[in-house]
Amino acid sequence: MPVHRVHPDVSVLSDSLEVPGIGHIPANAFVLHAAQPVVVDTGLGLPDRDFLRTLSTALDPADVRWIWLTHPDRDHTGGIFALLDAAPQARVVTTFVGAGIMSTEHPLPMDRIFLLNPGQSLDVGDRTLTAFRPPLFDNPATVGFFDDRTGVCFSSDCFGGPMPSAELAEGPDARDLAPEGLHDAQVFWASVDSVWLENVDARKFQDSWQLLRERAPELVLSTHLPAASGITGRMIDTLSAVAGLAPFVGPDQAALEQLLAGFEPAGSP
Ligand SMILES: [Fe+2]
Ligand SMILES: [Fe+2]
C-alpha cells in the first residue's frame, strides 16, 4: 500500500481492489495532519492488509485523535478496531445511523463515538472540519467534509472511478488518467455506487452540487479515486450531469459460469 503525501497536510494511504470486468477500484484512507490528527476511513479488511503498519509510515497511530468514518461500508472499516486499540485518545466521527449500522456486527464503544451531522463542524485544534453530504453516495450514513483551513475536500465514495491498472489506482494523481478516461470511469462508478440516479430530478440534483461549486476545493480526495488536484470544476461538470443514469447491473449466474469456464486450464474436461 503506497503512501503519498499529496499536500503538506494530507497523506493518502493508497490501496485498490481488482474487480473482473470493472477494473481496479482505488480504496484509499487518509491522514489529515492537523493539530489533532485525523484518520479518514480505515481501508479494506482483507487478511493480508495491515492498516496500522501502513498508517505508521505517515504518523504514530498512538497520536491519532479522530477517526472520521465517512460511512460504515466494509471498504472503509478494515482497520478501525485495531486503530481504536492503538490510539487510546481517538474517537470515531460518524452519525447516529453510522453507529447503528456498526452495531449490527461489532458495536463501537459509546465513549469512543462522536456524532456529527452534515452542516456541523468539528474543531481539531488548528482548524475546523465542516461536514457535508456528498451528492453521490451509497450509504445513508455518508458524511464527507471540508477542511476549512486548506479547503481540501474529503468526499467519501463520491468522485470515484475504476482505473485500468493497479499502478494508476494506487498512484498519486487522478490526472494520470486522460480526461476522457477519467470522465467515463467516474460516470461508470456513479452507475455502480449511486443506483438511485435514474429516479432523481435533474434540476434538484444539479442544486445538490452547489456547495461543492461554492467551496471550489483545489484538492478533492475520494476513497475510490487517486488524489484529484486542480480538476474540481471539470469533475463537477461530469458528475452533476448524471441525473437519470441507468444503474449498473452485474453479471448474473449464467454469465458468471461462462466467465469461470473461460478461466479453466487448457486440457481440462
Ligand atoms: Fe460505500
Ligand atoms: Fe466505498
- What local confidence, expressed as pLDDT, does residue 62 receive? 98
Summarize the confidence of residues 180-198 as an average pLDDT: 98
Q: Burial of 184 by CB count in 10 Å (0-12 exposed, 13-18 middle, 19+ buried)?
A: middle
Asked, for residue 22, whether it belongs to a domain, the answer is: yes
In the reported structure, the alpha carbon of residue 25 is separated from the centroid of ligand 1 by a whole-number distance in angstroms of 12
Closest CA to 185 of 217, 159, 206, 166: 159
Is residue 253 predicted with pLDDT exceeding 80? Answer: yes
CATH number at residue 172: 3.60.15.10
Q: How confident is the model at residue 260 (pLDDT cuts 50, 70, 90)?
A: confident
Q: Kindly state the cell numbers that stand for 187.
A: 460516470
Reported confidence tier of residue 267, pLDDT bands at 50, 70, 90: low
Least confident of 64-78, 112-126, 254-268: 254-268
> Does pLDDT of 1 surpass 90?
no
What phi and psi values does residue 232 have, to the nearest 5 degrees?
Answer: -60, -45
Q: Residue holding cell 479494506?
A: 44
- Average pLDDT over the chain reads 96
Kindly give the distance from the C-alpha atom of residue 162 to the centroid of ligand 2, in angstroms, as a whole number. Answer: 12
Residue 268 lies in a domain: no
In a domain, 267, yes or no: no
User: Would you say residue 252 has pLDDT above 60?
Assistant: yes
Q: Count of domains in the chain?
A: 1
Domain membership of residue 74 (yes or no) is yes
pLDDT for res 265: 65
Give pLDDT tens digits for 211-229. Answer: 999 999 999 999 999 999 9
- Residue 259 CA to ligand 1 center (angstroms) comes to 26
For residue 257, tell me if it sits in a domain: yes
User: Which one, of 195, 191, 199, 196, lies nearest residue 239 by Cα?
Assistant: 191
50 in a structural domain:
yes
CA distances from 247 to 190, 242, 252 (A): 8, 11, 15
232-239 helix and 179-193 helix, angle to the nearest 10 degrees: 50
Residue 235 corresponds to which cell in the numbers above? 469533475
In the predicted model, is pLDDT for residue 198 greater than 70?
Answer: yes
By the 8 A CB rule, do 160 and 217 touch? no
Assess whether pLDDT exceeds 60 at residue 269: no
Query: Containing domain of residue 48, as a range?
Result: 3-261
Cα(85) to centroid(ligand 1), Å? 24
Mean pLDDT of 30-53: 97
- Centre of ligand 2 from the C-alpha of residue 74, in Å: 8
Residue 265 Cα to ligand 1 midpoint, Å, equals 35
The verdict on residue 191 lying in a domain is yes
